Amino acid sequence: MKTLKLLSVIFLGSFLLTSCVAEVIVEEDVFIEEPSISLNALLNSYEIWYVDIERKRGNGEIPFLQKAFTVSFRNGAFFANNNLVGLGSNGNGFGLDVGFYDTFRTEIDISHDIDGVYELAVGQLSDNEIELYDRVTNTTYYLIGYQRNNFDYDQVFYDNIHYFLQEYEVWEKVYTSEFGVLNEFDEENYLKFEYFGAGENFRSSRDEIGIPLNDILYDYTGRYEIRDIVNTFDRKTLTLDYDYLGNEFFELSVINDNKIELFHPTSETVYQFAGRGRIQFKNTAGESSQNNRKRIKKADFMKLSK
């Protein structure tokens, strides 16, 4: 009788233990397979996605992400801010319509008007951070989500000021202050800035002001460098490397989307330059006047040698 009771207890205990284990497994399975927010809903939950170019991984590139400051996913339409001129106002802050997209589970197909179709895997890293992975080039981009009313367009503008200088074919001098010591730079009337990696990436000319762009003859070609000013986000330093004059150093301020001011500390002269020949990297007609511009990491730009 005691033996029968003991066997019954062991059998009953084993059954209960097995039942408990089975319940835990079922609960875990339910938890893992619990449906979450859809990818399309996630992409639409933020109005602006900032492309954090400095965190990009891989040696390849996705052209339309490489040149974009922000992208937006709006009910199947794909928007991008590729230019700093008009940033925050173009397309009510979304930028320009540059294609369309479709989602399936954890993947997104983006059909770009110029760069073609890309199939990207999407991973959610946090509430407002995702990664886009291109299996073909083994390249990953990181995007951070914002609403338009809490996105700092000004910070993006000044963090990438060198791109702003590249968005006009040339900058023409329109003002020289009456105060300040006479110096060689007084004679320079045109400045042209090109993208980093183009070798000697700025040109200057002393041609007469107001002539057609195609008639400008550049007297000098050299390198330029932009650096931050400590505790000042809306003003930068600009160094123009003139071999025969040495370096010309300025404090650079932006007056508006078409005009900059250069303060020359050595002579205490103030100059103003206006942009001529705006370069739209993606216009509303689906054309691009400079499709091959490559956005670079700010850290790499700061390593520019003199």
Residue 205 · residue 185 · CB < 8 Å: no
Domain presence at residue 130: yes
Domain containing residue 99: CATH number: 2.40.128.280
Domain presence at residue 292: no
Query: Which string of b and e fits 223-250 if b means at least 16 CB within 10 Å?
Result: bbbbeeeeeeeeebbbbbbbeeeeebeb
Instruction: Compute the distance between CA of residue 306 and CA of residue 295 in angstroms, rounded to an integer.
Output: 21
Q: Which domain holds residue 230?
A: 168-278
Name the nearest CA neighbour of 306 among 225, 204, 249: 225
pLDDT for 203:
94
Q: What is the mean pLDDT of the chain?
A: 83
**Same domain assignment for residues 174 and 268:** yes
pLDDT for 282:
57
At residue 195, the 3 state secondary structure works out as coil
When divided into structural domains, the chain yields a total of 3
Tell me: pLDDT of 35 over 60.
no
Instruction: Compute the distance between CA of residue 192 and CA of residue 218 in angstroms, rounded to an integer.
Output: 9
Structure tokens at 108: 């997104």
**Same domain assignment for residues 183 and 201:** yes
Domain presence at residue 156: no
**Same domain assignment for residues 85 and 55:** yes
205-259 residue pLDDT tens = 999 999 999 999 999 988 899 999 999 989 999 999 887 667 899 999 999 999 9
Name the nearest CA neighbour of 66 among 17, 115, 21: 115
List C-alpha distances in Å: 139 to 71, 78, 121, 173, 196: 17, 20, 11, 42, 22
The single residue listed with the structure tokens 């928007």 is: 79
Residue 128 · residue 144 · CB < 8 Å: yes
| Residue 268, number of CB atoms within 10 A of its CB | 12
Tell me: pLDDT of 180 over 80.
yes
Average pLDDT over residues 134-149: 96
Residue 303 pLDDT grade (very low, low, confident, very high; cuts 50, 70, 90): very low
Domain presence at residue 93: yes
pLDDT for 4:
39
**Same domain assignment for residues 44 and 133:** yes
Residue 154 pLDDT grade (very low, low, confident, very high; cuts 50, 70, 90): very high
Domain presence at residue 183: yes
**Same domain assignment for residues 26 and 95:** no
Name the nearest CA neighbour of 238 among 258, 219, 223: 223
Tell me: pLDDT of 23 over 90.
no
Name the nearest CA neighbour of 249 among 262, 241, 239: 239
pLDDT for 294:
59
**Same domain assignment for residues 176 and 140:** no
Structure tokens at 264: 């020359």
pLDDT for 148:
96
Domain containing residue 245: CATH number: 2.40.128
